[in-house]
């Protein structure tokens, strides 16, 4: 019995000593003697027996947070964050009604101050365009927010602003993986605000670079669902198919059915179809591709009559068709009436295509000519090509006055 009484007295004495030390620290804090309070709280926590005492950790959070603001010391601020995290970790094992009473008595001021101080530091670094420092401060802001949110000190479950700033700071600091991490958090909560549209595009580009088609498509689909009028989603989908001509052509055809009036899409399809049809390897469905190409190019011109490039591409397509017919004609070696009839029919087809080519070459010429000084180097090459076609046409027609006009013009297209 005497031993039990003695043990009880020792426990009471120890508890009393703890209380006295804490009261002394709190007295220093109350008098804003943070330097003295720091010495006492550091000494207390250097004793392994006090490491599990949540109240000491709370006192440390208070002291270090205030000192950090007085001295603008980032190391002290980081220690304050660690201390408040430790405090709530130790308190989490208690009944909810008895949990975090020290923090509750001050209205959780220290926890919110630590969050606010990191956020302000992040904003200051952000405005100074010190991106690595801004990123560090906003990640710490989010660590502080986790303390506030997980311990139900606020009803807010997601810090949209801090996450956005963390992602943007990481992006500017060239920390691509970290930027993607925070942008993904924002994207996944589906904020239908156009100011957030860029994060979906960033994530699409990021996962394309990572060669991750699943996540690439995930963020294309999310972006399309929230911002359907952004034309870039189609471009991103097509980028992922650049290495597979057949799949890309099929995707373009599918997109055109869904967006029949999209001029850019129609033109990209026409150009890709031209390259696919007249590439190194002749496709098995060559004639079908030629017919589809004619339709696609004429549709492009219908949708955008002032598209010089579409008219130019059509002249090149017609050149290939003319050449194919000429080769077929040359291959006819017979002298029978039916052979002569075949050649005659082919000549009519060739003449018809030449006239059609003249029509589109003239249109392209006029459109390029109107560009004047604003014409680009690539456009000049196309301009010269259609001018040569017109020279050939008028030479064939023996209209040498016209030939002279276009030859003179050709000399000016440098």
| Percent of the chain residues topping a pLDDT of 70 | 95
Examine the pLDDT at 176 and tell me if it is beyond 90: yes
Residues 358 and 387 in one domain: yes
Q: What is the mean pLDDT of residues 283-303?
A: 95
Give me the pLDDT at residue 17, please.
Answer: 52
Give residue-wise pLDDT tens across range 246-277.
888 888 888 899 889 989 889 999 999 999 89
Nearest one of 228, 163, 174 to 199, comparing CA atoms: 163
pLDDT confidence band for 118 (50 / 70 / 90): very high
Last residue of a domain, one of 304, 328, 350: 304
**Top-ranked range on mean pLDDT: pick from 12-16, 178-182, 208-212, 256-260:** 178-182
For 119, 138, 309, 333, 362, the CA distances from 392, given in Å and listed in that order, are 71, 68, 20, 27, 12
State the distance between the two ends of the chain, measured CA to CA, in whole angstroms. 111
Name 32's Cβ contacts closer than 8 Å, sequence gap at least 6. 66
Distance CA 211, CA 11 (A): 63
Give me the pLDDT at residue 239, please.
Answer: 80
Question: Packing angle between helix 74-91 and helix 54-71, nearest 10 degrees?
Answer: 160
pLDDT confidence band for 399 (50 / 70 / 90): very high
Last residue of a domain, one of 263, 282, 304: 304
Domain contains 269: yes
Domain contains 179: no
Domain contains 191: no
- Could you give the count of Cα atoms lying within 13 Å of 47 in the half-sphere of its Cβ? 11
Give residue-wise pLDDT tens across range 186-245.
999 999 999 999 999 999 999 999 999 999 999 999 999 999 988 888 888 888 777 777
Residues 336 and 398 in one domain: yes
Domain contains 210: no
Give me the pLDDT at residue 313, please.
Answer: 98
pLDDT confidence band for 14 (50 / 70 / 90): very low
Residues 265 and 349 in one domain: no
Residues 254 and 322 in one domain: no
Residues 336 and 414 in one domain: yes
Name 160's Cβ contacts closer than 8 Å, sequence gap at least 6. 186, 189, 191
pLDDT confidence band for 283 (50 / 70 / 90): confident
Domain contains 30: yes
For 100, the 3-state DSSP assignment is coil
Give me the pLDDT at residue 13, please.
Answer: 40
Give residue-wise pLDDT tens across range 41-82.
999 999 999 899 999 999 999 999 999 999 999 999 999 999
Q: Which two tokens stand for residue 65?
A: 């947070």
Nearest one of 94, 23, 84, 36 to 58, comparing CA atoms: 84
pLDDT confidence band for 12 (50 / 70 / 90): very low
Give me the pLDDT at residue 238, please.
Answer: 82
Last residue of a domain, one of 60, 75, 92: 92
Residues 264 and 300 in one domain: yes
Residues 363 and 292 in one domain: no
| Alpha helices per DSSP H over 278-336 | 286-303, 308-330
Which residue has 């589906």 as its token pair? 190
pLDDT confidence band for 20 (50 / 70 / 90): low
Question: What is the DSSP-derived secondary structure letter of residue 153?
Answer: S
Cα 179 to the center of its chain, rounded Å: 10
Residues 269 and 320 in one domain: no
Report how many domains make up the chain.
3
Rg (CA), the chain: 38
pLDDT confidence band for 1 (50 / 70 / 90): very low
Give me the pLDDT at residue 292, please.
Answer: 94
Examine the pLDDT at 406 and tell me if it is beyond 60: yes
Angle at 231 between CA 213 and CA 380, to 5 degrees: 105
Residues 312 and 379 in one domain: yes
Give residue-wise pLDDT tens across range 126-149.
999 999 999 999 999 999 999 999
Give me the pLDDT at residue 6, please.
Answer: 45
pLDDT confidence band for 125 (50 / 70 / 90): very high
Domain contains 83: yes
Give me the pLDDT at residue 247, please.
Answer: 84
The DSSP secondary structure of 9-37, one letter per residue, reads HHHHHHHHHHHHHHHHHHHHHHTT-HHHH
For 213, 287, 373, 386, the CA distances from 326, given in Å and listed in that order, are 46, 15, 38, 20
Domain contains 351: yes
Residues 291 and 380 in one domain: no
Examine the pLDDT at 412 and tell me if it is beyond 90: yes
Domain contains 327: yes
Give me the pLDDT at residue 9, please.
Answer: 41
Residues 414 and 312 in one domain: yes
Give me the pLDDT at residue 205, please.
Answer: 94
Query: Mean of the per-residue pLDDT values for the chain?
Result: 91
For 159, the 3-state DSSP assignment is coil
| Percent of the chain residues topping a pLDDT of 90 | 76
Examine the pLDDT at 340 and tell me if it is beyond 80: yes
Domain that holds residue 350: 307-414
Residues 324 and 369 in one domain: yes
């Amino acid at each position: 019995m005497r031993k039990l009484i003695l043990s009880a007295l020792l426990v009471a004495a120890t508890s009393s000593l703890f209380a006295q030390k804490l009261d002394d620290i709190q007295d220093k804090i109350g008098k804003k003697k943070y330097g003295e309070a720091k010495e006492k709280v550091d000494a207390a926590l250097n004793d392994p027996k006090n490491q599990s005492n949540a109240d000491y950790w709370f006192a440390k959070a208070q002291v270090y947070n205030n000192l950090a603001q007085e001295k603008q010391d980032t190391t002290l601020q980081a220690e304050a964050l660690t201390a408040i995290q430790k405090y709530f970790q130790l308190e989490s094992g208690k009944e909810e009604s008895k949990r975090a009473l020290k923090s509750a008595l001050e209205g959780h001021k220290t926890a919110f101050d630590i969050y606010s101080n990191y956020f302000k530091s992040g904003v200051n670094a952000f405005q100074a365009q010190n991106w690595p420092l801004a990123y560090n401060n906003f990640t710490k802001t989010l660590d502080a927010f986790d303390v506030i949110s997980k311990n139900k000190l606020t009803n807010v479950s997601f810090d949209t602003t801090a996450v956005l700033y963390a992602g943007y700071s990481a992006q500017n600091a060239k920390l691509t993986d970290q930027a993607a991490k925070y942008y993904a958090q924002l994207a996944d909560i589906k904020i239908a605000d156009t100011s957030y549209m860029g994060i979906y595009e960033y994530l699409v580009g990021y996962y394309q670079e990572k060669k991750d088609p699943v996540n690439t498509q995930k963020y294309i689909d999310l972006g399309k669902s929230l911002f359907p009028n952004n034309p870039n989603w189609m471009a991103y989908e097509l980028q992922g198919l650049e290495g597979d001509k057949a799949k890309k052509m099929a995707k373009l055809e599918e997109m055109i059915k869904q967006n029949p009036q999209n001029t850019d899409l129609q033109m990209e399809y026409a150009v890709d179809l031209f390259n696919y049809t007249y590439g190194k390897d002749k496709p098995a469905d060559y004639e079908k591709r030629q017919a589809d190409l004619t339709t696609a190019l004429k549709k492009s011109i219908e949708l955008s009559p002032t598209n010089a490039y579409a008219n130019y591409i059509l002249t090149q397509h017609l050149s290939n068709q003319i050449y194919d017919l000429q080769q077929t004609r040359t291959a006819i070696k017979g002298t029978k009436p039916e052979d002569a009839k075949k050649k005659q029919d082919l000549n009519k087809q060739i003449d018809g295509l030449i006239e059609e080519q003249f029509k589109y070459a003239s249109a392209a010429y006029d459109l390029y000519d109107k560009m004047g000084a604003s014409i680009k180097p690539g456009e000049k090459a196309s301009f010269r090509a259609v001018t040569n076609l017109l020279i050939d046409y008028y030479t064939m027609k023996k209209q040498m006055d016209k030939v002279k006009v276009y030859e003179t013009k050709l000399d000016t297209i440098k």
